[in-house]
């Protein structure tokens, strides 16, 4: 199911920081001159980007947590991370 | 839903070794209104109140914020609150040791201005020899692992260097370069005829920006702040009046933007007398133009009002004489001819116009004039 994913390790760029926004009851990603409000799933994905887990590991962890299977989790995680990578907020290593 | 602020610009001092003729500080920065600077404890209280109110991004600016010897303490407090901190500095005499101390205190991001792509022009615009310090400081920020923004205010005398400025930022490994066309407030309005670019200059620079963006992708983010006098419609200034942003001045006045203090028909409150939350929710300066009930025509019935919020209140006051009018930059404004005249004057001008450097003696003279 995730065999096609390359063994890449997504990492939050050093300029970006996850922060809880208590006033608005949500998590946000803060970076130079900007911020992105995260939904709970987005915050969870970024919380799993620990510099060790691969995309495959993150998908597997989410599937375990929610008992979900199939391609939708992988598609969501990949699309979410790709969006942040396009802004330079997530980088991939191995 | 009531808006809550996300951004706080803390103008820690109006003292500055540089003398840039487009400075956004008030013309009377050296006058009595701004004399008694907030203490360390007062600033820390402001940061705590700001965080409780919803602020997440803190800009530490000035003047030159590194002149505050308590900057490390202020950053430590802000960082402890979870605020994302950006230092906005000229880097004049900024050492690697000081930057390392600021990093240890929790500083997240450094933004260093430059006035031109080479020492001759940069120092001539700054009015102070500072180019070498800036280049050294750019390297220190990279060595210390800070994300770096190179910040340039663009105008008639440096727009031809846009490509060289982008290449400089690229060679330094910066994350962002902010190419900010001069917005005409404060000293920039005072020096408007000297700073206003020609249409041809802007078109050339914009072509370079588009080409370089395509070349660089996410390697270097190129921010282009629009030259609004040359636009058809006004900018959505501050994302709308008092919707997400506040400025605290060195002596504690709270403004909806860093230029608003010039609007003489508004009453500004001070953090020494009121909690920040009360100022945000109830003060005259913050409530007067919040939402759209204040709007006159042509804004009131205009579908663009939810995008541009009527433009800039300061520009309406400074150019059209009333902060409650449509931003005169808008081609639908009955005052647009005032903007067109300022642009036409420069297009037809021969030779360079002198500017007045931003400096304390000139400021005191302007303050005395009122």
Instruction: For residue range B126-145, list pLDDT tens digits in order.
Output: 999 999 999 999 999 999 99
Q: Which pLDDT value is given to residue A73?
A: 87
Q: Which pLDDT value is given to residue B35?
A: 92
Residue of A nearest to B59 (CA): A33
Q: Which pLDDT value is given to residue A1?
A: 45
Separation CA A49–CA A11 (nearest Å): 6
Q: Which residues, in sequence order, are CB contacts of B69 under 8 Å at separation 6+?
A: none
Cβ distance of A15 and B109 shorter than 8 Å: yes
Please check the confidence at residue B215 and state whether its pLDDT lies above 70: yes
Q: Which pLDDT value is given to residue B218?
A: 86
Q: Please report, for residues B156, B194, B354, the alpha-carbon distance to residue B351 in angstroms, rounded to integers and kept in the order given.
A: 11, 10, 10
Nearest-CA distance A42 → chain B (Å): 19
Share of chain B above pLDDT 90, in %: 95
Digit-coded pLDDT (tens) for B61-99: 999 999 999 999 999 999 999 999 999 999 999 999 999
Digit-coded pLDDT (tens) for A23-82: 999 999 999 999 999 999 999 999 999 999 999 999 999 999 888 777 788 899 999 999
Cβ distance of B109 and A88 shorter than 8 Å: no
Nearest-CA distance B218 → chain A (Å): 6
Choose among B6, B145, B147: nearest Cβ to A32: B147
Q: Which pLDDT value is given to residue A2?
A: 47
Which residues in chain A touch residue B221, judged by CB atoms under 8 angstroms apart? 88
What integer is the mean pLDDT of B297-306?
96
Please, are residues B91 and B115 in contact by the beta-carbon 8 Å criterion? Answer: no
Residue of B nearest to A33 (CA): B57
Please, are residues B353 and B345 in contact by the beta-carbon 8 Å criterion? Answer: no
Please state the ipTM of this predicted complex. Answer: 0.92
Q: Return the residue matching tokens 């942003």.
A: B245
Q: Which pLDDT value is given to residue B233?
A: 96
Average of per-residue pLDDT values in chain B:
96
Please check the confidence at residue A6 and state whether its pLDDT lies above 60: no
**pLDDT band at residue B347 using 50, 70 and 90 as cut-offs:** confident
Separation CA B17–CA B118 (nearest Å): 19
Cβ distance of A88 and B218 shorter than 8 Å: yes
Nearest-CA distance B151 → chain A (Å): 12
Chain A residues near any Cβ of chain B (below 8 Å): 14-15, 17, 19-21, 23-24, 28, 30-33, 35, 85-88
Q: What 8-state DSSP symbol labels residue A10?
A: E
Q: Please report, for residues B87, B131, B158, B163, the alpha-carbon distance to residue B116 in angstroms, rounded to integers and kept in the order given.
A: 20, 9, 6, 11
Q: What is the pTM of this model?
A: 0.95
Which residues in chain A touch residue B149, judged by CB atoms under 8 angstroms apart? 32-33
Which residues in chain B touch residue A20, judged by CB atoms under 8 angstroms apart? 82
Cβ distance of A32 and B52 shorter than 8 Å: no
Digit-coded pLDDT (tens) for B144-199: 999 999 999 999 999 999 999 999 999 999 999 999 999 999 999 999 999 999 99
What integer is the mean pLDDT of B97-112?
98
Q: Please report, for residues B296, B305, B326, B334, B335, the alpha-carbon distance to residue B301 in angstroms, rounded to integers and kept in the order given.
A: 9, 8, 12, 15, 18
Please check the confidence at residue B56 and state whether its pLDDT lies above 90: yes
Please, are residues B101 and B74 in contact by the beta-carbon 8 Å criterion? Answer: no
Separation CA B272–CA B277 (nearest Å): 13
Least confident of B45-49, B308-312, B365-369: B365-369
Torsions phi, psi of B7, nearest 5?
Answer: -120, 135
What integer is the mean pLDDT of B106-124?
98
């Amino acid at each position: 199911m995730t065999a096609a994913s390359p063994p890449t390790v997504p990492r939050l760029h050093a300029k970006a920081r996850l922060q809880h926004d208590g006033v608005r009851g949500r998590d946000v990603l803060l970076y130079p001159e900007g911020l992105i409000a995260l939904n709970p799933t987005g915050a969870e994905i970024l919380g799993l980007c620990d510099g060790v887990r691969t995309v495959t590991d993150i998908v597997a962890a989410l599937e375990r947590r929610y008992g979900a299977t199939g391609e939708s989790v992988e598609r969501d995680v990949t699309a979410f991370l790709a969006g942040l990578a396009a802004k330079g907020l997530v980088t991939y290593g191995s | 839903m009531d808006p809550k602020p996300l951004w706080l610009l803390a103008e820690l001092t109006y003292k500055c070794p540089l003398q840039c003729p487009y400075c956004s500080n008030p013309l009377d920065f050296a006058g009595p209104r701004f004399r008694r600077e907030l203490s360390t404890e007062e600033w820390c209280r402001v940061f705590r109140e700001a965080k409780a109110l919803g602020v997440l991004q803190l800009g530490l600016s000035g003047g030159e914020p590194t002149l505050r010897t308590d900057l490390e303490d202020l950053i430590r407090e802000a960082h402890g609150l979870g605020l994302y901190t950006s230092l906005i500095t000229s880097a004049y005499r900024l050492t690697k040791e000081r930057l390392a101390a600021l990093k240890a205190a929790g500083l997240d991001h450094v933004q260093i201005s430059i006035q031109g792509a080479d020492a001759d022009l940069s120092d001539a615009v700054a009015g102070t020899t500072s180019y070498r310090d800036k280049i050294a400081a750019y390297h220190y920020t990279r060595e210390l692992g800070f994300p770096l923004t190179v910040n340039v205010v663009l105008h008639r005398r440096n727009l031809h260097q846009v490509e060289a400025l982008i290449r400089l930022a690229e060679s330094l490994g910066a994350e962002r370069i902010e190419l900010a066309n001069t917005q005409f407030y404060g000293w920039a309005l005072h020096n408007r005829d000297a700073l206003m670019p020609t249409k041809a200059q802007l078109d050339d620079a914009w072509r370079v920006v588009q080409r370089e963006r395509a070349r660089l992708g996410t390697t270097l983010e190129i921010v282009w702040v629009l030259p609004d006098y040359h636009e058809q419609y006004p900018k959505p200034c501050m994302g709308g009046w008092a919707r997400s942003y506040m400025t605290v001045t060195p002596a504690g006045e709270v403004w909806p933007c860093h230029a608003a203090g010039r609007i003489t028909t508004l009453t500004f409150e001070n953090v020494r007398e009121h909690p920040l939350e009360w100022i945000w929710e109830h003060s005259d300066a913050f409530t007067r133009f919040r939402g759209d009930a204040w709007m006159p025509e042509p804004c009131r019935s205009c579908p663009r009002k939810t995008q541009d919020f009527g433009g800039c209140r300061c520009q309406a006051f400074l150019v059209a004489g009333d902060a409650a009018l449509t931003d005169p930059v808008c081609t639908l404004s009955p005052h647009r001819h005032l903007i067109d005249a300022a642009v036409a004057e420069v297009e037809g001008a021969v030779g360079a116009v002198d500017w007045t450097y931003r400096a304390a003696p000139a400021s005191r003279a302007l303050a005395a004039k009122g």
